[in-house]
Copies of this chain bind each other. A is one copy, B any other.
């Protein structure tokens, strides 16, 4: 692991998720950008001294030098966004499999460079768009793909948060500090941090891509340099319309990611804060409520489930499903558990660029310059 020292929220999540199914062991890390802190964190988290690295470069060099079968099988990169490209690129170039946080990199140029590396080296490259790991999201994707909703006409996707409603970044809160800093976070604020999740969820469930956007981006908190509220009209590859809301100033919402998909024959609705349920509506007949763990779900949803129905699964299990998919790919197995890859990451970066361009200019419709589809 690179990044994710003991105070970081997402590092602990990755360690729980990657090891939940006992298919991986945390053996090496460079857990901070400060060598001393890095070593400290590694000691506290139980790394052996000879694989507790002060820097990611040291880790890369040393692990590369280890014998085949004795080196790390993959690296999880969970640093702030600005260092994603350099680290991921170096490890992929060296032939290591990579799991990288989102948004993947700062620009489409970087994204394309990563893609070229992945294509050349053949490494497995996963991007932790973790929400697509939820079983009922996979069921939703299945229903759309099976044609149960007919032609997709409209998608409403929201990621509602309220944690940045105040000037939290001036209070010393680290998460807030780097996520509102363009140098570290990238072009997008809310649109990058959580809009990218919404984009991936919409494309994952529908199998469509977003062709153009018309965005209204605002910074409500005085002095904030990145958007904290994004409201975006969407047009999809098949002509479908959409609305995206990605906000960090909607007080009272926590991680309220939700999606509604409307087709010519039916519709569906899912919320990450109630993740074991999927509502499905059709032109005729009453609404139906699918619940995780029951018979009658698709193979992908069944494979992504660990517990009986009614014993709720949640965030960690969904996150672990991304890792399970990556592990199957590393082992060269066919698996029902797909996972987001470098191409999804690149599409996400193109989306952020288009949204920021639209919002910064005159809010006109702006094309998403993605050269890679959702189904890749």
Contacts and interface: CB of A to CB of B under 8 A. Distances in A.
A331 interface: no
Contact of A260 (B9, B241, B250, B314): B250
Interface stretch (A88-96, A108-116, A261-269, A345-353): A261-269
Contact of A249 (B153, B216, B315, B317): B153
A371 to B, nearest CB: 25
A307 B264 CA distance: 26
Given A251-B266, A252-B266, A291-B254, A216 B233 contact: yes
A288 B251 CA distance: 13
Given A251-B265, A313-B314, A363-B365, A287 B285 contact: no
Interface stretch (A12-20, A55-63, A68-76): A12-20
A317 to B, nearest CB: 7
Interface stretch (A120-128, A201-209, A270-278): A270-278
Contacts of A251: 262-263, 265-267, 281-283
Chain A interface main SS type: loop
Interface string A241-263: 11101010111111110001011
B307 A249 contact: no
Given A283-B166, A315-B307, A288 B288 contact: yes
Nearest to A231: B243
A264 B221 CA distance: 9
A304 to B, nearest CB: 14
Interface in A330-376: 362-365
A165 interface: yes
- Give the number of times this chain occurs in the complex, counting copies: 4
Contacts of A308: 9, 254-255
Contacts of A21: 16
Contact of A19 (B19, B272, B313): B19
Interface in A286-318: 286-291, 293-296, 306-317
Given A22-B46, A288-B288, A312 B315 contact: yes
A42 B296 CA distance: 32
Nearest to A292: B254
A254 B286 contact: no
A282 to B, nearest CB: 7
Contact of A267 (B162, B243, B284, B290): B162
B247 A154 contact: yes
A256 B290 contact: no
Contacts of A231: 233, 241-243
Contacts of A162: 262, 267, 281
A220 interface: yes
A291 B254 CA distance: 10
Given A218-B241, A251-B265, A275-B312, 5 more contacts: A20-B316, A165-B264, A220-B264, A251-B266, A253-B281
26 contacts: A9-B308, A15-B22, A19-B22, A22-B26, A22-B46, A153-B229, A162-B281, A214-B363, A233-B363, A247-B262, A250-B260, A251-B262, A251-B283, A252-B266, A254-B311, A273-B310, A284-B295, A285-B288, A286-B296, A287-B289, A287-B291, A289-B289, A307-B315, A312-B314, A313-B315, A314-B314
A-B pairs with lowest CB-CB distance, top 4: A254-B310, A252-B281, A255-B310, A312-B314
